[in-house]
Amino acid sequence: MKFALIDAEQGLPAPVATVAEMCRTLDVSSSGYYAWKSRGPSQHQKDDDALAVKVLEVHAKSRHTYGRPRIHDKLKKQGVCVSGKRLARVMKTHKRSKARNRGGGPEASGAEVVLGGVAARGEVA
């Protein structure tokens, strides 16, 4: 995480500090930063990316209605062995954690909608 912070800072048009200064401040070695930067993605990350492609395919085939439990079942039927927690994490990082809300919203349940401190009926909340 510290190396990613240094990398993001160096990507700015006018970095505030040099790599050596940032490494000293964050208590990491500059050689460690450069080794991290030259390294490719880990096998775990590659596996997650491949899983994300499969998840997006299943999600698209369901017309974007399937959530984690159904996607997990479909992947199991396809022979993909993955835990529910890992699947949820991959879906969360790819912004596919939930299906759209098909309910009527809070208005349908009779609840008050509060927007910016003002209740739906014009009263101050």
Instruction: Give alpha helix (H) positions in the chain.
Output: 2-10, 19-26, 30-38, 43-61, 68-77, 84-93
Query: Residue 104: its pLDDT value, please?
Result: 55
Percent of the chain at pLDDT > 70 equals 76
Residue whose pair of structure tokens reads 């450069």 in the numeric block: 34
Q: Is 4 helix (H, G, I), strand (E, B) or coil?
A: helix
Residue whose pair of structure tokens reads 């200064």 in the numeric block: 21
Cβ(88)–Cβ(94) under 8 Å? no
Model pLDDT for residues 79-119, shown as the tens digit of each residue: 999 999 999 999 998 875 454 555 555 555 555 544 444 44
- Which residues, including other chains, have CB under 8 Å from residue 14's CB and lie 6 or more apart? none
Model pLDDT for residues 115-124, shown as the tens digit of each residue: 444 444 545 5
